[in-house]
Structure 1
Amino acid sequence: MPSPSTSVDQSTAPAPAPAGGPRSSPWLTLCAVAFGLFMVQLDASVVAIANPAIGSELHATTAQLQWVTNAYLLALAATLILGGKLGDRFGRRTYYLVGVVGFTLASVAIGLSGSIEGVVVFRALQGVFGGLLMPNTLGLLRAAFPPRRFGMAVGIWAMVSAVSTALGPIVGGLLVEHVSWESVFYINAPIGVVALVFSACVLPQSRTAGGPHRFDVPGVVLLALGLLCVVLGVVKGETWGWTSAGTWGAVAAGVLVLAVFGRYQTRIAHPLLPMRLFRSRTLTVGAVITALNFFVMLGVIFFVMLYLQNVRGFTPVEAGVRTLPLSLASLVASPLGAALTQRLGARFTMPLGMVLQSAACFGMLTWQTDSSYATMWPPFVALGLGVGMVMAASSEAIVGSAPVRDAGVAGGLQATTLQIGGALGTSVLVSLISSRVGSTLTGELTAAGVPADLAGRLHEAKDAVAMGVAPVSGDMPAGLRAAVAQGSGHAFLNGVHTAVVVTGVLCLAGAALAALGVTRPAQEQTAH
């Protein structure tokens, strides 16, 4: 049963389209935004596979290679809510199309750049245009679909998002292995052209109607600065150290600026991010669960690919194929999660998805250096089902709980929490694995038969082992190489097991938060 928070505000409805024309169909709107969404989400996960090749060909340092990812994340996080607000105010179709064009051109420019500095600069531009594109996908859907059908539309939106993210390793592996690292970015050109032509033909224009008012420039600056500081602290925490002054200083400064931003938003007539949105407990909890959902998905996929490629020795394509159950489960789970949310509410679907993710994490405790595939695919299926269900339910909880006039801003909020959660997941879980590897590596090497003095010296290679790489050399005898590989693999899995226990517990806490914090439709109606 839809709540009044999802009722259509006539002042914000899309501009009327000719009866029976392509711009009168909300389902064509969904198809159009799916192209842009697929392009951005595929790019986000495919780049991880290309990074080693980029570093090798462009002679990049580890720090420079990190900025290939970090520049994109920082630019994206800083512009998502702004992109949604611009769409709400001046036209969601317009800013979606600008985002598609800019993202496509920036992708081609990355492939043509020829230097690591050029790759970093154009990755940042990709992030900016992604920030215009992403929130307006949900904003356009919120304006096009009536409340009773919006949940299913979000389910399909979530399915496209989850499947494109999960397909990244497979597509990236094929392109890097058989074409070049540049092709990982060039693939966005045909997708972008199709997205642009199709969207220009079928997307209706929609914006928030109302009299002229001043755009919140100070709010833009404060929000961008706060998010930049927080995300910088998160993505550099593993490199700088989580207890370092730099990490704490960046995160604390970001939180302080965001607190000032929140206070400022309550004191002006036309805020960038209306604080009244957070009066909805469902929206607030949905934002937290969205962050946790991508903390789990991106963090777990990161170390799973390290395990499959570096410990088990699979090629990128072979590793990607073995994660197909995750992609297929996401394909099923997103529309299923939307249907369950529509019928039983987010209060049921979000906890269910979180429990499935917790089961997936605890299932990975059985993994060893020689585990059969029969121990791997069940956690992949559970993770895909859980992520897809939570993605659909939490997106509907955030955007569906916001008035139509704030649909773009709500979409920006959803995408921002998603990106911050993903950045946290990768950084925090890598740190947990590194810490556990550092404390167990020498003992595992010794137990595997490596002489104690050599095991002590090999402890210096703990950072490589934390990535699943055994510190073997060609001049080692075969028996010693096997012992070093075995001990290193066990140490890496010690770290993985620590990470999945922490993640599983967080999922259970998220399930409890969603069950207790999300209001039923009738309660939300009373509250509004």
Structure 2
Amino acid sequence: MTETNAPATPAPHYPTMPLPAKEAWPALFALCTGFFMILLDQTIVAVATPEFQRQLHADYNQVIWVTSAYLLTFAVPLLVTGRLGDRFGPRNVYVVGMAVFTCSSLWCGLAGGVEELIAARAVQGLGAALLTPQTMAVINRIFPRDKRGSALGVWGATAGLSTLCGPLLGGLITGTVGWEWVFFINVPIGVLSIIAVMVWVPRFPPAARRIDPLSIVLSVVAVFLLVFGLQEGESMDWAWWIWMMIGVSFMLFALFVRQQVVAEHRGRDPLMPLSLFRVRNFSLGNIGIVSMGFAVASVPLPFTLYYQQVHGLSPLQAGIMLVPQAATSLVLSPIVGRLTDRYSSRGLGASGFAVMALSTVGMTAVMVSGVHHYWTIIPLIGLGIGNSLVWAPNSASTMRDLEMNQMGAGSGVYNQTRQLGSVIGVAAVGAMMQWRLTVDDPGTAFGLSVLIPAAMMLVGVTSSLLSTNNLHQSQARK
């Protein structure tokens, strides 16, 4: 009997990394399209909140959960979704995440009640969690070490553009065609992003080992308890069970760290390889991004409340007041990105954190003094300068020394710590505002509350100064 040999299945072809510039830059454009949409959604929805509250007859707690549900499902799985990019390929996970985000955006706009809107926002947050870590992971794979600063500068400019467009576009859309369209606008952008990513972003070889399932469970439960406790602590008057949730989350984090060692010994892929933290700049960069997330998420609320409740501006006018910060960051981020490839990320990042600290103190001085609110333009421009000096240098320094097979895990950790910093910042500044409003006038209360993020910026200065100058190492690997 003659044995017939079946033709061997050809192995999939994966392009050599990094890519030539003519292929890498279109891929970056495709990724930034989705990144822009995610960030735009966070700012544009805030402007539309009073309108959908009125039309859907929602109470204050329900309105809060429209945002809280999104942030919760966005923050909790980031560590896992970063590793899913390693396991199944970042392009595939990005496309799935964008499809989930786009479809849930359509669901948000069609929601007939606030409960349905909350559910749709929760699914939307999950889509954002799937795609967000893949952006940084792909950028660090397709660009050579000596060009990543320029790429991350464009990435930072995308964030500045979304911050600039969000309040203005949100006010325009809500006032003309209705709040539903702040969600519907995501649909064509999402479809465009999926097509562009499929065309321009290459495939990457998947990891062979299965991710340790117990690590996934411990991570998700620990982050959920911490984020939920911090989000709901103020509204629940920091009841004993809130503190118990936070305490249990820290215990689970400790078990999670131990499980990473156990998984490695048993031949399974740890969710967060502890070898990442043996890279000095990665550890310090994550401290820096916690500080940045803390400040970026926490300061807009007291700023906008100051403009609206102290000076009587409309939501759109308050959004316009924040334009100088966003415009400055938009213009400077690509320039700083190019400087990151030539000069020390350590000096640029430390300068950015310092400028942000001084500018935040300047905002406090203006808000407490009772002078005209136009004086806030000066510290806001300073905040825009500081933002542009932090994003690309801190990201490049953090990720530059990681190996290619560590990019997914590193990106997941980086985004997870940034989001945790954001949640902690919002909780801390919210509690500070609540306390100071009982003893001070609103302007003083809002002004003093932002001193907490100013202090956190000093942590960022310290972490940047302690990092090593890896610019020369990068150039040596060219």
Aligned to 2:127: 129
Code of the residue aligned with 1:130 in structure 2: it is: A
Aligned to 1:453: none
Aligned to 2:315: 316
Aligned length: 456
1:148 aligns with 2:97: no
Structure 1 residues 166 and 399: alpha-carbon distance in aligned structure 2, compared to 1, 3 A threshold? farther
1:229 aligns with 2:225: yes
* Alignment partners' CA distance in 1, 2:127 and 2:452: 34
Structure 1 residues 116 and 23: alpha-carbon distance in aligned structure 2, compared to 1, 3 A threshold? farther
**Corresponding residue to 1:115 among 104, 113, 116:** 113
- State the 1:511 CA deviation: 0.9
Kept in 1: contact 2:134–2:411 (CA 8 A) = yes
Aligned to 2:188: 190
1:243-392 correspondence to structure 2 within 5 Å = 244-269=239-264, 270-364=269-363, 365-367=365-367, 371-392=371-392
- State the 1:314 CA deviation: 1.9
- State the 1:207 CA deviation: 3.2
Kept in 1: contact 2:341–2:471 (CA 8 A) = no
Kept in 1: contact 2:298–2:425 (CA 8 A) = yes
1:310-345 deviation digits (Å, cap 9, x = unpaired): 322222222222211111111133223323333332
* Alignment partners' CA distance in 2, 1:292 and 1:415: 13
Aligned to 1:501: 451
- State the 1:256 CA deviation: 1.4
1:186-225 deviation digits (Å, cap 9, x = unpaired): 110111111112222111111345xx42332111111111
Aligned to 1:163: 161
Residue aligned with 1:343, SS: coil
Code of the residue aligned with 1:421 in structure 2: it is: G
Residue aligned with 1:423, SS: helix
Kept in 1: contact 2:47–2:316 (CA 8 A) = no
Aligned to 1:476: none
- State the 1:14 CA deviation: 8.6
* Alignment partners' CA distance in 1, 2:398 and 2:471: 17
* Alignment partners' CA distance in 1, 2:163 and 2:116: 25
Moved >6 Å (runs of 4+): 522-525
Kept in 1: contact 2:367–2:446 (CA 8 A) = no
Code of the residue aligned with 1:295 in structure 2: it is: F
* Alignment partners' CA distance in 2, 1:175 and 1:522: 45
1:173-198 deviation digits (Å, cap 9, x = unpaired): 22222221211111101111111122
* Alignment partners' CA distance in 1, 2:13 and 2:327: 34
Residue aligned with 1:267, SS: helix
- State the 1:369 CA deviation: 8.2
- State the 1:295 CA deviation: 1.5
- State the 1:235 CA deviation: 1.2
1:520 aligns with 2:469: yes
**Corresponding residue to 1:238 among 206, 211, 234:** 234
Residue aligned with 2:226, SS: helix
Kept in 2: contact 1:231–1:423 (CA 8 A) = yes
Residue aligned with 1:43, SS: helix
* Alignment partners' CA distance in 2, 1:219 and 1:14: 31
Aligned to 1:410: 410
Aligned to 1:433: 433
Kept in 1: contact 2:298–2:453 (CA 8 A) = no
Structure 1 residues 265 and 163: alpha-carbon distance in aligned structure 2, compared to 1, 3 A threshold? same
**TM-score, L = length of structure 1:** 0.82
Code of the residue aligned with 1:352 in structure 2: it is: S
1:205 aligns with 2:203: yes
Code of the residue aligned with 1:235 in structure 2: it is: Q
Aligned to 2:72: 74
* Alignment partners' CA distance in 2, 1:368 and 1:214: 55
Q: Is there any run of 5+ residues in structure 2 with no aligned partner, and where?
A: 1-11
* Alignment partners' CA distance in 2, 1:144 and 1:14: 16
Kept in 2: contact 1:354–1:507 (CA 8 A) = yes
RMSD: 2.3
Residue aligned with 2:76, SS: helix
Aligned to 1:480: none
Identity among equivalent pairs (%): 31
Structure 1 residues 437 and 83: alpha-carbon distance in aligned structure 2, compared to 1, 3 A threshold? same
* Alignment partners' CA distance in 2, 1:256 and 1:57: 43
* Alignment partners' CA distance in 2, 1:24 and 1:405: 24
Code of the residue aligned with 1:35 in structure 2: it is: T
Aligned to 2:45: 47
Residue aligned with 2:299, SS: helix
* Alignment partners' CA distance in 1, 2:345 and 2:205: 27
* Alignment partners' CA distance in 1, 2:362 and 2:436: 19
- State the 1:106 CA deviation: 0.4
Code of the residue aligned with 1:521 in structure 2: it is: N
Aligned to 2:460: 510
Code of the residue aligned with 2:220 in structure 1: it is: A
Residue aligned with 1:170, SS: helix
Residue aligned with 1:344, SS: coil
Aligned to 2:6: none
1:216 aligns with 2:212: yes
* Alignment partners' CA distance in 2, 1:24 and 1:92: 20
* Alignment partners' CA distance in 1, 2:352 and 2:195: 36
* Alignment partners' CA distance in 2, 1:401 and 1:162: 26
- State the 1:370 CA deviation: 5.8
